[in-house]
Amino acid sequence: GQNIDQPTEMTATEGAIVQINCTYQTSGFNGLFWYQQHAGEAPTFLSYNVLDGLEEKGRFSSFLSRSKGYSYLLLKELQMKDSASYLCAVTDSNYQLIWGAGTKLIIKP
Amino acid sequence: GAVVSQHPSWVICKSGTSVKIECRSLDFQATTMFWYRQFPKQSLMLMATSNEGSKATYEQGVEKDKFLINHASLTLSTLTVTSAHPEDSSFYICSARDSGGRETEAFFGQGTRLTVV
What confidence score (pLDDT) does residue B40 get?
Answer: 83
The answer to whether the Cβ–Cβ distance between A33 and B105 falls below 8 Å is yes
- Return the closest-CA partner of residue A109 out of A9, A18, A13: A13
End-to-end CA distance of chain B: 37
Enumerate residue ranges in chain A where pLDDT < 50: none
DSSP B47-92: EEEEETTS--EEPTT--TTTEEEEEEETTEEEEEE-S--GGG-EEE
pLDDT bin (cut points 50, 70, 90) of residue B103 is: low
Q: Which candidate in B4, B21, B44, B98 is best for mutational testing of the A interface (most A CBs within 10 A)?
A: B44
State pLDDT tens for residues B29-85: 888 889 999 988 787 888 998 888 888 999 999 999 999 999 888 899 999 999 999
The total of other beta-carbon atoms located within 10 Å of residue B101's CB is 9
Residues from chain A that touch B111, judged by Cβ atoms under 8 A, are 40-42
Instruction: List for chain A the helix, strand, coil content (%; round to 5).
Output: 5, 55, 40
Q: Which candidate in A48, A94, A97, A98 is best for mutational testing of the B interface (most B CBs within 10 A)?
A: A97
Residues from chain B that touch A41, judged by Cβ atoms under 8 A, are 110-111
Biggest CA pair distance of chain A: 43
The answer to whether the Cβ–Cβ distance between B103 and A97 falls below 8 Å is no
pLDDT bin (cut points 50, 70, 90) of residue B104 is: low
